[in-house]
């Protein structure tokens, strides 16, 4: 079975978002999808720049999970969970 490695940062953010049911439910739904997927790297959108080895999945309109898949160990490392601006430091809209 695939191992999910949540960073301490993600654990803190889950507590921060505990009142936002859409974020919490979306997070746990996506974690379940990552566990069951044949190739978790195919689920998310591949990132570039400083996150070039990572993928992201939208869990709500504004919030995403940033993760890295290590196929050799069959581990998904969840790096961060936040809105676009906080994850990437800028807003690409407009």
For residue 11, the model assigns a pLDDT of 92
Q: Does the residue 94 lie in any domain? A: no
For residue 72, the model assigns a pLDDT of 94
The count of domains in the chain is: 1
Q: pLDDT band for 94, please (50, 70, 90 cuts).
A: very low
pTM of the model: 0.86
Cβ contact 84:62 at 8 Å: yes
Q: State the residue range of the domain holding 21.
A: 3-88
Chain segment 35-67, per-residue pLDDT in tens: 999 999 999 999 988 888 999 999 999 999 999
Closest CA to 81 of 1, 2, 37, 15: 15
Q: Does the residue 41 lie in any domain? A: yes
Domain holding 47: CATH number?
Answer: 3.30.2310.20
Q: Does the residue 50 lie in any domain? A: yes
For residue 50, the model assigns a pLDDT of 87
Q: Does the residue 61 lie in any domain? A: yes
């Amino acid at each position: 079975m695939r191992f999910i490695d949540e960073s301490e940062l993600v654990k803190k953010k889950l507590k921060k978002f505990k009142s936002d049911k859409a974020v919490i439910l979306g997070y746990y739904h996506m974690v379940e999808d990552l566990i069951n997927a044949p190739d978790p790297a195919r689920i998310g959108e591949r990132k570039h720049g400083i996150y070039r080895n990572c993928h992201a999945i939208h869990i709500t309109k504004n919030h995403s999970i940033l993760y890295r898949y290590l196929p050799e160990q069959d581990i998904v490392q969840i790096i961060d969970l936040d809105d676009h601006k906080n994850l990437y430091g800028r807003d690409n809209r407009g």
